[in-house]
Structure 1
Amino acid sequence: MVQFQEDFLHLVWKYQYFDKKGLATSSGLPLSIQKIGWHNQHEGPDFKEAEIILGGIKNYGHVEIHLKASDWKAHHHHKDPAYNSVVLHVVWDLDEEVFRADGTAIPTLSLSGKVPFDVIRNYEKLLFSPNKLLCSEALAEVPAILKFSMLEKALVERMQEKSRMVLSLLDKNGQDWEETAYQWLFQAFGFKTNAGPMLKLARSLPYKLIKKNAGNLTLVEAMIFGQAGMINPTLGLETGYQDTLKTHFDFLQRKYSLKNKLFGSEWKFMKVRPGNFPSLRLAQLAALLNQTPNLFSNVLYELDNQAAFKDIFVFELSDYWRQHYHFGKSMKRKFRPGLSPAVLDLLAINFVIPLWYAYGRYADLNQWQEKCFNFLQEVSAEKNSLTDIFLAVGWPPGNAFDSQGMLGLYHGYCAKRKCLYCKIGQNLLRPNLK
């Protein structure tokens, strides 16, 4: 017999996946379920405001669910007044009788032997699947509308998580949205590999200093590369350009009392393609910030579609970075100065959308969520190892709305084997009524 988790019994109760003919409590009282109650995800009884008929008498109260009846005591419910209004204790293993704090016995229903075999079998097949996408073998059975509904749910949860990160930065920045957008942009430009050092760099170099020197790209580059710990002319790699940057940075460092400079070793170059080297990304950021003095305002008010977004990310690199991807590392072939369509899509997903969603939550404006959804549907779907998993089982992402939802679904549910909390998993666990 499979070892159930308690959340399996929650699902069995919530969807009434058990035989209700001739129901009776452990003491023999006839039982009829009128309302299962609402699923409580916080402290207190598992299902609140239920309605049952016991021996012909209506009872209103809560339902508590355990694997074993003795868990009532193990969880100290007999000492907690919040559980005095429990009208039904639902268990799998009826190993002992339990009582409320006042000594009265709690009516108990054992589900052992009442759950259809196919529900148990589906549970075993799903939860113990060796596949990365646990439901891949049965996914074709799931209605498209249900899959879309779960995709949307996972997408919202993913955006909420990212927006929490933005709002956390906002708190640290004293509710300064411009500074927050600036720091979030740096983190987004680091992508997965260098997101940490990028954010650390932005927090060590206030946006107001960039704006003060905007219009002079050399000074902006000097501050960014200097704080990044990348200026090191002693290496003898085409030192003329680095000497110039070092001279400017030494002056600006004293002028603005800049501290917390990063070490060059904090940046990751190994297994990174030259086009995504942090040095080149910093050069692109310098060029972008040199011509965009009001970053957050532009992102918030001047973007209505993907075309407008791309216009913001048109910039002119300095002469040196048109020919190099790192200090002393020249291009072997002609370099496209702008950002690739794939990078622009990733910035739309990881920079713009979280900012919009966070602002909507901050200002309590629900229309920003809809704006995020609409914009994601204009952006191309991501192509990576995780979206390939969905593609392989006949569920291709059509746009970034789909691919972001799939990433949220995989990380939030599949990888954690939380099928019982997923609408798709719940659908696959249902009993066969044919």
Structure 2
Amino acid sequence: MHFKEDFIHAVWKYQYFDKQGLTTVTDSVLEIKKIGFQNSHEGPDFSEAHIVIDQMDFFGNIEVHIRSSDWNVHGHESDKNYDSVILHVVWVHDTEVRRKDGTTIPTLALKGKIFLDVLRNYRRLINTRKQLLCSDFLDEVKPIIKFSMLERALIERLQQKSHLIHEEVKSTSGDWEEVAYRWLFHCFGFKVNSLPMLKLAREMPYRLVKKHANQPLVQEALLMGQAGFCYQDKPDDYTLFMKKEYEFYRKKYQLKEAIYPAEWKFMRVRPGNYPPVRISQLVAILSKSPNLFSLLTNQVRTISDLEGLFRAKPNAYWEHHNQLSKPSGKPQNRLLTKRTLNHLGINFIVPLWYAFGKFTDDEGWRERCFDFLQEIPAEDNRIIAAFEKEDWSPENAFDTQGMIGIHHSYCYPKKCLDCKIGQNLLRPAK
């Protein structure tokens, strides 16, 4: 039977093997007092373990492999960090292994000792060809376990995003107004243009934009110019005005060179999501809300509050254009759609609040995030469709963000044994 090393990790962690008359590969009597704490960083797999071999106590670490020879393959025989290993747990023993000082490490071989139920359950998990590996067995999992995993995956997803936000906090010396401004631009890139949008916000700092809070045309000229959109072959009057304003303020504020046009992506992007259109919407929001972070933390409690701040109408020029100097044909409504506002609530507001809560060590922000997500309707995409196909239907964005987290972090990389659902399906019958 073929399996990954994580299976042996799970077997050791949950002690899914027969411990009656347990011995090492050299027939020394083995008793397990404490399995240790699983280590997700460098070094041995489990720390602070306690075992007894031939009535002698040993305290130290446990290392887990498929084969004994993997010890040498991974270079542990010359690594002093592994001198503290007191037991080598493997599926099969194929060679004696030693520490850096030459002493032999006791080995426990699990082949023939793992409970048959566990082996069968693991086999049925890994042999499925479905997008969700556990889909055929989800009805065996209690709702409380599913919910617990949704919450865990959601928190992990928020932690990943908060890490990105904290990087901006460091680079701005803790200026949360600037951070909120940058994160807003990042989110308005809607994945495909998120990086150039973030670059634009970094190069056109919020303090300069706020200087012209009552001059939305100047704000738009600054951003369009710095984005590199004012330089058209056949400019119309509006573009010429944008270019003139930008050139004046570029010299006044000694701005960096504009972003190179090739950094922006237009192919396979809907016209309503073109970067110039999104920048025009950002200007409408920023000219209306000059103290962004303060408003988002003090005046926004619900998705309706966010709509009140963000449903701002851009300059009428953009009703007839998708890019500067390029008419779009029929008039377009440039107010942010309900779907877009929900997206921003999920991907802009909630991660920003969560990151701020982590930064200030205030748990109240986590609950505020959860409450906010539960007000937003469930998302609709191919990942959510895969869960719905298996009769696991989400009620709101709290559920869908958890499902997306489960898919990205556990299902797609096939880390079933790190998932509470997979762990539940692995365990033997009572």
Query: What is the TM-score of this pair, normalised by structure 2?
Result: 0.93
The Cα of 1:234 is off from its aligned counterpart by 3.2
Which amino acid is 1:295 matched to?
A: L
**Partner Cα distance (1:170, 1:230) in 2:** 29
1:369 and 2:366 equivalent?
yes
1:9-33 alpha-carbon deviations (Å, 9 max, x no partner): 1101111111222222223233332
Give the match's secondary structure for 1:336. Answer: coil
* Root-mean-square deviation (Å): 2.2
In the alignment, what sits opposite 1:315? Answer: 312
Identity of counterpart residues, as a percentage?
Answer: 49
**Partner Cα distance (2:189, 2:222) in 1:** 18
**Partner Cα distance (1:88, 1:245) in 2:** 70
**Partner Cα distance (1:218, 1:116) in 2:** 71
Give the match's secondary structure for 2:222. Answer: helix
The Cα of 1:156 is off from its aligned counterpart by 0.9
1:51-72 alpha-carbon deviations (Å, 9 max, x no partner): 3343445544332222222333
**Partner Cα distance (2:257, 2:174) in 1:** 22
Gaps of 5+ in 1: none
In the alignment, what sits opposite 2:274? Answer: 277
Identify if the C-alpha distance between structure 1 residues 113 and 240 changes in structure 2 by more than 3 Å, giving closer, same or farther: same
The Cα of 1:187 is off from its aligned counterpart by 1.1
In the alignment, what sits opposite 1:17? Answer: 16
Give the match's secondary structure for 1:315. Answer: coil
In the alignment, what sits opposite 1:34? Answer: 33
1:344 and 2:304 equivalent?
no
Which amino acid is 2:297 matched to?
A: L
Which amino acid is 2:410 matched to?
A: Y
Identify if the C-alpha distance between structure 1 residues 279 and 81 changes in structure 2 by more than 3 Å, giving closer, same or farther: closer
The Cα of 1:182 is off from its aligned counterpart by 0.9
In the alignment, what sits opposite 1:329? Answer: 327
Give the match's secondary structure for 2:322. Answer: strand
1:173/1:180 contact within 8 Å kept: yes
In the alignment, what sits opposite 1:242? Answer: 239
The Cα of 1:203 is off from its aligned counterpart by 1.5
1:204/1:260 contact within 8 Å kept: no
Give the match's secondary structure for 2:375. Answer: coil
**Partner Cα distance (1:420, 1:264) in 2:** 45
Give the match's secondary structure for 2:148. Answer: helix
The Cα of 1:233 is off from its aligned counterpart by 4.8
Give the match's secondary structure for 1:32. Answer: strand
- Structure 2 matches for 1:118-197, cutoff 5 A? 118-197=117-196
Give the match's secondary structure for 1:26. Answer: coil
Query: What is the TM-score of this pair, normalised by structure 1?
Result: 0.92
1:71-118 alpha-carbon deviations (Å, 9 max, x no partner): 334445455555444433222211233445565543322101112344
Give the stretch that moved more between structures: 123-132 or 311-320. Answer: 123-132
- Structure 2 matches for 1:194-233, cutoff 5 A? 194-233=193-232
Identify if the C-alpha distance between structure 1 residues 75 and 283 changes in structure 2 by more than 3 Å, giving closer, same or farther: closer
1:325/1:331 contact within 8 Å kept: no
1:216-260 alpha-carbon deviations (Å, 9 max, x no partner): 121111111111221245325xx1221222222221222212222
In the alignment, what sits opposite 1:67? Answer: 66
Identify if the C-alpha distance between structure 1 residues 85 and 268 changes in structure 2 by more than 3 Å, giving closer, same or farther: closer
Select 1:381's aligned residue among 363, 367, 378: 378
Which amino acid is 2:18 matched to?
A: D
1:266 and 2:263 equivalent?
yes
**Partner Cα distance (1:417, 1:73) in 2:** 26
